[in-house]
Structure 1
Amino acid sequence: MLNRIKPKLSFWQIFNMNVGFLGIQYSFGLQQSAINPIFLFLGAKEEILPILNIAGPVTGLVIQPLIGAISDKTWSPRWGRRKPFFLIGALMGSLCLFAFPLSPALWFAVGLLWILDVGNNMAMEPYRAFVGDKLPDEQLSMGYQMQSLFVGAGILLANASLFLFQDWFGGGQDIEGTIPKWLYYSFFIGSFLSIATISWSVLKTPEIPPTDAELEEINKHKSLPFAERFKMPFVEISHAVKEMPRFMWRLSAVYLFQWYALFVYWQFITPLFRVTMGYDTSEAAAQAAKMSTTYNVVTAVVALILVPLTLRFGGKKIYALSLFGTAIALIAIPHISDPVYVLFPMVLFGIGWAAMMGIPYSMVSKIVPQERRGVYMGILNMMIVIPMGIQTLTFGPIFKNLLGGNSVNAMLFAGAFFVIAGLLATRLNMPKDTNNPEIDL
């Protein structure tokens, strides 16, 4: 493992380097709360929502590790290592967000989702590695929890915009095949934030130049024939998976249940409120946006509070407890029919979301080699999208045939999966020696 002494950064330096996550997560917030309602507005049936969302898992599975491996072998004195990928991804996301509410038909919206997910994945994966590149080990928890703060803030803004714009500019009955005008404004704001916030971080945060040994390796890679360079990222991903620390294999088991359950929640929270509260699609989407706003307020507030708690009690304990809390929230939601009281479980969900978006990344970043951080962060995100892919392919039949086509049962199913994830998280022992990650604490 290549080691280097990295200077400590101030609070505001860490803040500035993570501002770009605001735009990425605003886009993700719209995907959580607005994309599936748009599909419903354009005539999609509830049972096909999972398969319509398969773009996220497929693009994440391919793009994130691939971009991670390529960025590990990239360096430009002018543009840096990770920044070119931020900018290209942000530009793609910005254009797609602008076009999304203008979708004339379901097939067009589904196609835009594919392109949007490619852009978001291209921006997000090297951002995770970027934090690890810049920060010494003792500041990794702060760096990734700062990302978690912006996760909460970005999704909060996205969802707050949805129900505020509906309140200000909505009204009237849903018209099948038509996207309400109040949805347009949230997407246009997201289009601006996607490129503006990434540009802020790019301009404010210089990358650390590679060491002589890293530069020699990069130049050696550049000198290879094109065919060799083309297949090299795939070879690198294959080798990294074979050599992956035991800790990451255990984390993959947690992620299988955690992310399967999260995708169920995001897809079926709007249909749930059509059942439990008798809302139409617009009203249910607005209530779902309020739920997301609530838990992301909590995430933004508690994200940095988790840093000292993690240092004192250990990432494993805080992470496992957060998953159990999220399970309680999901099991409670279907039993509450009041639109105000149903927001209270989102406090537990928000704490869980803050932990999920920060703690695993800081733990993994400490045990993987610096020169392969990009590819390992890509593999970590493969562990997210594979469960999502499994969910999109399997949950439609499960929902229809085993859960009776009832969104209440879907939410209880997700809660049970979070219980399993919490139990598996209790097995996440950090290695005693980060240079030998097979020796557990």
Structure 2
Amino acid sequence: MNVKKIIPRLSFWQIWNMNVGFFGIQYSFGLQQTAVNPIYSFLGAHAEQLPILNLAGPITGLLIQPLIGAISDKTWSPKWGRRKPFFLLGALFCSIALFLFPFSSTIWMAAGLLWILDAANNTAMEPYRAFIGDKLPEDQQTFGFQMQSLFVGAGITLANLSLFVFQKYLGGNSASGGIPIWVYYSFFLGSFCSIASVAWSVYKTPEIPPTEEEIEELRIAKEKSTFFTPFIEIIVAIKEMPKVLWQLALVYLFQWYALFVYWQFITPMLKSSLYGISEADETKANALIESAKKGISVVSSDLSWAKGILHQVEVAVGQTGLMNGSYNIVTMLSALLLVPFAKKFGSKNTYIFCLFLTGLGIMTLPFIKNEYFILLPMVTLGIGWASMMGLPYSMVSPSIPHSKRGIYMGVINMMIVIPMLIQTLSFGFVFNNFLGNNSSSAIILAGVLFVVAGSCVFLIKPDTSEK
């Protein structure tokens, strides 16, 4: 745009209200992190299948977020605004998918619902990132992005702790195969939180209306727009992308590959390293339970053993929820505290420190044999997660043209999902051929990759002159 708008400063509670919707979106994301892979296991999937079963996230993120960004940049409704229609629609479909997910009866039914859930999450999430740039002046954007980190922590914390609490108090002492009933309650709670929190932000936060000149430009752009326009704009945006975004892409390659490995293999690691359950034991236990359900005679001692194994598997899922909930509590507590550190030491140096700290903490997990002591490294992951959700955006945001903020937030998401896509397609092979099907080795590798990502941050050189 030729005329630079003056964006008014917002109060703490105005920034709070505009980001409340991020809570529900992140509750859904938390369930994906912690519950989806165990659900695959409950339905009979093996560890080496988990990466490819998580293909929905990278693919939908790669396709949907840049498109939504490009379209929302050219959207204006006097009643609904520019970004709000997209995260409201995304939240609605997210709630529907969350409600249906625990009713999955097969692996591929669960995988299909994950595609819908990821598509909805991506539709809602991308406009929220652009929303910060639309609504806040530059000197408040770091605070705005870190406020989002706070709600990232809050949403994922509730998702994970709901799994832990429901398993502990509603799980009972026996297992009967399939998806446990306590898992249903976590997904139903997420279905409510998703739509309710986004509706709150939509109701409480007006968007800044465009100037007459901007409205005219939007009208002209709409008249010239075709089906292929958003795709062309994405290609042009990548071609003209500020150098700092290319530098961030290298960091994200290792960071998000590592995160996807952690989310997929933390429960398998806990089952083997903390509870002594092998995949062969779990497979045998499921087979015995299924035989008993079909009326086939099973020795009572074998049946008791199988129920004990599957109960421990459920406990491992609950422990994952406790661990992931713990690191997200730390994320909530540290998200806004990182703001003064970033101002004093710089966002870049703070980000480097947080990634190094995260990597070292993750590498210790397989060696801790106590379910309480193993929570200590979650402090490092919580601090790192808070930095990942805010600092990179505040580092690159000044270099992004205001009129293309939506599309570039979508491009940044492509930098996230491409490493995830690479992981889903490659890690099954890596796991089988280089890690010996050892989930503990997978977690150690994730820690190493966080350290590599932190080293790559040294190459980032933010440049506000490109704005």
Instruction: Confirm or deny a common fold (TM above 0.5).
Output: yes
Residue in structure 2 matched with residue 44 of structure 1 by the alignment: 45
Residue in structure 2 matched with residue 77 of structure 1 by the alignment: 78
2:441 to 403, 409, 420: 409
Shift of 1:281: 2.1
Equivalent position amino acid for 1:28 in 2: F
Equivalent position amino acid for 2:195 in 1: I
Equivalent position amino acid for 1:208 in 2: I
Shift of 1:173: 3.6
| Partner Cα separation in structure 2 for residue 368 and residue 202 of structure 1 | 25
Larger gyration radius, structure 1 or structure 2: 2
Shift of 1:171: 2.1
Alpha-carbon deviations, 1:48-83, whole Å to 9, x = none? Answer: 000000000000000000000000000010110001
Is the 8 Å Cα contact of residues 322 and 351 (structure 1) preserved in structure 2? yes
Is the 8 Å Cα contact of residues 73 and 405 (structure 2) preserved in structure 1? yes
Matched, 1:198 2:198: yes
| Partner Cα separation in structure 2 for residue 182 and residue 12 of structure 1 | 35
Residue in structure 1 matched with residue 161 of structure 2 by the alignment: 160
The structure 1 segments of at least 4 consecutive aligned residues displaced by more than 4 Å after TM superposition are none
Residue in structure 1 matched with residue 96 of structure 2 by the alignment: 95
Counterparts of residues 75-224 of structure 1 (less than 5 Å): 75-176=76-177, 178-224=178-224
Alpha-carbon deviations, 1:319-338, whole Å to 9, x = none? Answer: 01100011011101011010
Equivalent position amino acid for 2:171 in 1: G
Shift of 1:184: 0.6
Shift of 1:197: 0.3
In terms of mean alpha carbon deviation, does 401-410 or 361-370 score higher?
Answer: 361-370
Shift of 1:37: 0.4
Residue in structure 2 matched with residue 317 of structure 1 by the alignment: 349
Shift of 1:221: 1.9
| Partner Cα separation in structure 2 for residue 399 and residue 53 of structure 1 | 15
Counterparts of residues 305-384 of structure 1 (less than 5 Å): 305-384=337-416
| Partner Cα separation in structure 2 for residue 390 and residue 174 of structure 1 | 35
Q: Extract unaligned runs of 5+ from structure 1.
A: none
The two structures, once aligned, show a CA RMSD in angstroms of 1.0
2:450 to 410, 414, 418: 418
| Partner Cα separation in structure 2 for residue 297 and residue 314 of structure 1 | 24
Shift of 1:361: 1.2
| Partner Cα separation in structure 2 for residue 343 and residue 392 of structure 1 | 27
Equivalent position amino acid for 1:147 in 2: Q
Shift of 1:213: 2.8
Using the aligned pairs only, state the percent identity.
Answer: 60
Residue in structure 2 matched with residue 271 of structure 1 by the alignment: 268
| Partner Cα separation in structure 1 for residue 64 and residue 118 of structure 2 | 9
| Partner Cα separation in structure 1 for residue 57 and residue 466 of structure 2 | 34
Aligned length: 431
Q: Extract unaligned runs of 5+ from structure 2.
A: 278-311
3-state SS of the aligned residue for 2:183?
Answer: helix
| Partner Cα separation in structure 1 for residue 175 and residue 110 of structure 2 | 18
Counterparts of residues 229-244 of structure 1 (less than 5 Å): 229-244=226-241
| Partner Cα separation in structure 1 for residue 223 and residue 426 of structure 2 | 45
Is the 8 Å Cα contact of residues 214 and 371 (structure 1) preserved in structure 2? no
3-state SS of the aligned residue for 1:104?
Answer: coil
| Partner Cα separation in structure 2 for residue 186 and residue 283 of structure 1 | 15
Matched, 1:245 2:242: yes
Equivalent position amino acid for 1:25 in 2: Q
Shift of 1:428: 1.5
Shift of 1:172: 3.5
| Partner Cα separation in structure 2 for residue 193 and residue 294 of structure 1 | 20
Equivalent position amino acid for 2:96 in 1: L
Shift of 1:308: 1.1
Equivalent position amino acid for 2:84 in 1: K
3-state SS of the aligned residue for 1:366?
Answer: helix
Is the 8 Å Cα contact of residues 400 and 466 (structure 2) preserved in structure 1? no
Shift of 1:46: 0.7
Shift of 1:363: 1.8
Residue in structure 1 matched with residue 432 of structure 2 by the alignment: 400
3-state SS of the aligned residue for 1:229?
Answer: coil
| Partner Cα separation in structure 2 for residue 119 and residue 159 of structure 1 | 20
Is the 8 Å Cα contact of residues 298 and 347 (structure 1) preserved in structure 2? yes
| Partner Cα separation in structure 1 for residue 6 and residue 76 of structure 2 | 19
Residue in structure 1 matched with residue 256 of structure 2 by the alignment: 259
3-state SS of the aligned residue for 1:183?
Answer: helix
Shift of 1:187: 0.4
| Partner Cα separation in structure 2 for residue 53 and residue 385 of structure 1 | 11
| Partner Cα separation in structure 2 for residue 54 and residue 173 of structure 1 | 32
| Partner Cα separation in structure 2 for residue 113 and residue 146 of structure 1 | 27
Shift of 1:236: 0.6
Shift of 1:315: 0.6
| Partner Cα separation in structure 2 for residue 219 and residue 199 of structure 1 | 28
Alpha-carbon deviations, 1:252-310, whole Å to 9, x = none? Answer: 00000000000000000000011111253211111111110110000000100111111
Alpha-carbon deviations, 1:204-235, whole Å to 9, x = none? Answer: 000011123321221012223xxx42111111
Shift of 1:397: 0.6
